[in-house]
Structure 1
Amino acid sequence: MECKRVFVLSPHADDAELGVGGYLARVIDAGGEVMVALGTVGASTSICLRREIGKEERLSESRESMAVLGVQSVEVLTEGLDGALSSYPAVEMIGRLDRLQNMFEPDEVLIPLPSSHQDHRYCWEVGIASTRPNHTKHVPRLVAAYEYPATFWGEGALHKGFGGGLYIDITQTWTRKLDALRRHQSQMLEDPGRLIGIEGATALAQLRGVEAGFAKAELLHVLRQRWS
C-alpha cells in the first residue's frame, strides 16, 4: 500500500464504493490520491425512499460518501443519463477519459466489470478502450476490473480474469466502507433479498474474504499489470 494514484470509473454515484470502497480507503490511509469519475448523475426513482430524487440529492449523497472514504477528487462525466449512458457518444466519452488520465497520471485504473445493467456494460467498453496499450500518453502500472454484487447476473459472470486476481484485505476499512454506502440513503436497502444493498455488499465481501483468508476482502480482476 505505497503512496499511489488510483483512478476509478464508476457508472453511478455508488458503484465505486460498492466495488472498491474498502480498497480506496486503504489507498488514502497510505497517503495515496484517488480520483473517481462518475459516468452519470441525475434524477431517478428511489426504491428505498419511494419517491423521485433529483440530481442534487444524489450528488449530496455522493459527496458525503466520498468524504467518509477520503476521496480527494470526483468528476461528473454526464448528467441525467441514468439507464441511458449508451446515448452518449462513446468516442466522446473515451476522449474525456483519456484527458483525465493524462492529467491525473494514475498508477492504477479501475473500471467496472460488465453486468446486466446497460450503463455498466457501456462503462466497461469505454474503460477498455481508454486503457488499451499505447493509447494514451500516460500508461498506468495496473489496469483492473472491479466487481459489485450484481456482477454475477449477466456478462460479468462470464469474465474469466485471465490476468489473475488481486484479493485486497479490507477488514480494517470495512466499517468505513459500510458508512460510505449508508450515505447513499436513496439507494442502499438493508434487505437480505436484494443484491444492491448493505446485505449484498456484506455477502460479497465475506465470500472474497473466505477465498483469500481474510475476514473481509475485495477482488480486482487484473487486465494488465506492468513491472519496471
Structure 2
Amino acid sequence: MITSGVERILIIAPHADDEVLGCGGLIEKACRHKNEVKVVVIAVGDITHPHSSEKVLAATRIEELKNALAVLGCNDFEVMYNDKDSLLDTIPKNEIISKLDNIVNNYSPTMVFIPLPSYHQDHVVLFEACFAALRPRPTQSIKLIAMYEYPLISWYYQKFWNTGELYLDLSNTVHKKVEAFLQHKSQRRPPNHLISPESVLKWAEMRGLEIGLPYAEKYYILRSHVL
C-alpha cells in the first residue's frame, strides 16, 4: 500500500491525538518512503478534561500535535477550528463540508483516511461531513478512501463494518507510533485506560495477531480502485 514517493495522502482527524491513535504507523511509513502526507485536524480548543480536571489550552494541543507529527516525519498539517473541541455539532454541517471540499480540491490526494464514527459527537459529525465531501466526482484522483479506528470505538453499538478490511504492518514502526502518542501529553491516561501508551501498543498487538504479525493498524475500505 505504501510505496516510495508516489502517493499524496490526506488524513482527516477530529482532534489532536486521533491522527496518531488511528494512523500513526501509516504516517511514519508513508513519510519514511517519501510520500506526501497532510494531516488536517478539525477541532482543538481550550477544554477542561474530566479525567484530570486540568484545563488544556488550544495552543497546547496544537504544539503537541506539531511535536507528535515531527516524531513521525510529517510537517504538513493544519487545524480547521481552534475553538470548537467537542462543539462540532454546533457548526452548520455544510460549512465543514465546504472547507473539506476546498482542502480536497487544493491538495488532490490519492488516498484519504477518515475516522470511524463513535459515541463522540465530533467524530460522528466529521464522519458524515467527510462522506459528503468525498462523494464521487469525475475529476477525482483518489484511489483509496478508508476509515481508521481508535480505541474509543470499542464503545459503539455498531460493532461490525460491512466493508473491506486492510491491515498495515507496524512491526518495524510501532515504537514510533507510541513515541508520537507520548507527545500528546495532555491526553495521556493511566495504563488501564483505552487512551494510554500501553493501550496503543496493546491495540496494535491485537490487530497484528489477527493477521500473524507482531503489530498492525487496521483500516476499513469505503472505496478503492486502480488508476
TM-score by length of 2: 0.93
- How many residues are treated as equivalent by the alignment? 224
Q: Is the 1:102–1:137 Cα contact (8 Å) retained in structure 2?
A: no
**Any conservation in 2 of the 1:40–1:78 contact (CA below 8 Å)?**
yes
- Is 1:149 the equivalent of 2:151? yes
> Percent identity of the aligned residues?
34
Question: Could you tell me how far 1:159 is from its partner in structure 2?
Answer: 4.3
- Decide whether the 8 Å contact of 1:47 with 1:187 is kept in 2: no
Residues 1:203 and 2:205 are matched in the alignment:
no
Contact 1:9 1:36 in 2 (8 A): yes
Residue from 80, 86, 93 that aligns with 1:90: 93
Contact 2:148 2:220 in 1 (8 A): yes
1:41 is the counterpart of 2:44: yes
8 Å CA contact 2:25, 2:176 repeated in 1: yes
My pick for the range that moved more, 108-117 or 71-80, is 71-80
Query: CA separation in 2, counterparts of 1:9 and 1:96?
Result: 12
* Pairing partner for 2:122 from 116, 119, 122: 119
Matches within 5 A, 1:174-193: 174-192=174-192
- Give 1:29 shift: 0.6
Measure how far apart 1:196 and its partner are: 1.7
Within a 5 Å distance, the mapping from 1:152-163 to structure 2 comes to 152-155=154-157, 157-162=158-163
Q: Distance in 1 between matches of 2:206 and 2:68?
A: 24
| Cα distance change of structure 1 residues 127 and 159 upon mapping to structure 2, 3 Å threshold | farther
Please say if 1:212 is aligned against 2:211.
Answer: yes
Q: Secondary structure at the match of 2:185?
A: coil
Q: SS of 2:78's equivalent?
A: strand
1:48, distance to aligned residue in structure 2 (A) = 6.5
Partner of 1:139: 141
C-alpha contact 1:19 1:218 (8 A) present in aligned 2: yes
- Residue pair 1:33, 1:72 contacting (<8 A) in 2 also: no
Question: Quick check: 1:166 aligned with 2:161?
Answer: no
Listed one character per residue, the Cα deviations across residues 73-124 of structure 1 (whole Å, up to 9, x for unaligned) are 1111112111111111111111111111111111100000001111111111
Tell me if structure 1 keeps the 8 A contact 2:47–2:55.
yes
1:174-218 deviations in Å (ceiling 9; x for gaps): 1111111000111012421x1122232222111110001111100
Contact 1:38 1:77 in 2 (8 A): yes
Asked whether 1:106 is paired with 2:109, we answer yes
- What is the match of residue 61 of structure 1? 64
User: Separation in 1 of the partners of 2:168 and 2:83?
Assistant: 33
- Tell me, yes or no, if structure 1 residue 226 matches structure 2 residue 225: yes
* Structure 1 unmatched ranges of 5 or more: none
- Residue type of the alignment partner of 1:220: Y
Contact 1:191 1:198 in 2 (8 A): yes
User: Cα deviations across residues 22-71 of structure 1 (Å, max 9, x unaligned)?
Assistant: 11100011111111111101111245764211111111111100111111
Equivalent AA in structure 1 for residue 159 of structure 2: L
Aligned CA distance change for structure 1 residues 60 and 47 (closer, same or farther; 3 Å): farther
> Moved runs in structure 1, 4+ residues, more than 3 A?
46-50
Which 5+ residue runs of structure 2 have no aligned equivalent? none
Counterpart code for 2:172: Q
Contact 2:66 2:75 (8 Å CA) reproduced: no
